[in-house]
Amino acid sequence: MMKVVVPWVAIGIGVDQVMNVMNQKLDNEKKMMIAVNNVTSLFDVKILQPLLHEDFISYAKTIPISEKIIDPNDLQRKHAIRKLAASCGVPEISAYNKKCFRCDKITKLVEKNGSEKSC
């Protein structure tokens, strides 16, 4: 099993390693969306993730790492996307806030169990 290194740690190892980590995270997110959609489809709901569209991913990979992660302590990340969203009129709360605690908790439950359980 491949060890996953978090991006802010990987910065100290080099851009190639950061790109490997990002690719691993993308693969995980795509698998997660399949699992989430398997559950939500039971209720005739389809979740769309435009940031996981292949065209968006291809474009995002052309943005330098320095525009995405500022330093090893950068917990916000995705700075280029956030700036673009804000410049297009996306409300600041949407453009700059991290994922909510509950969303993180649900994501971890789906990863662990393959479906959402009671929080």
Q: What local confidence, expressed as pLDDT, does residue 42 receive?
A: 92
Q: What local confidence, expressed as pLDDT, does residue 116 receive?
A: 45
Rounded Cα distance between 81 and 98, Å, is 13
Give the tokens for residue 98: 């991290």
Domain range list for the chain? 7-113
- The DSSP line for the chain is -PPP--HHHHTTT-HHHHHHHHHHHHHHHHHHHHHHHHHHGGGT-----GGGSHHHHHHHTTS-GGGT--STT--S--HHHHHHHHHTT--HHHHHPPPPHHHHHHHHHHHHHSS----
Among the ranges given (10-14, 60-64, 67-71, 75-79), the one the predictor scored with the smallest mean pLDDT: 10-14
Mean pLDDT of 72-96: 82
Most distant CA atoms of the chain, gap in Å: 45
Give the tokens for residue 116: 């959402």
Task: Tell me the whole-structure pTM to 2 decimals.
Answer: 0.58
Mean pLDDT of 3-30: 73
Q: Does residue 113 come out as left (phi exceeding 0), alpha (psi in the -120 to 50 range) or beta?
A: alpha
Residue 118's pLDDT band (cuts 50, 70, 90):
very low
Percent of the chain exceeding pLDDT 90 equals 17
Which has more pLDDT, 109 or 119?
109
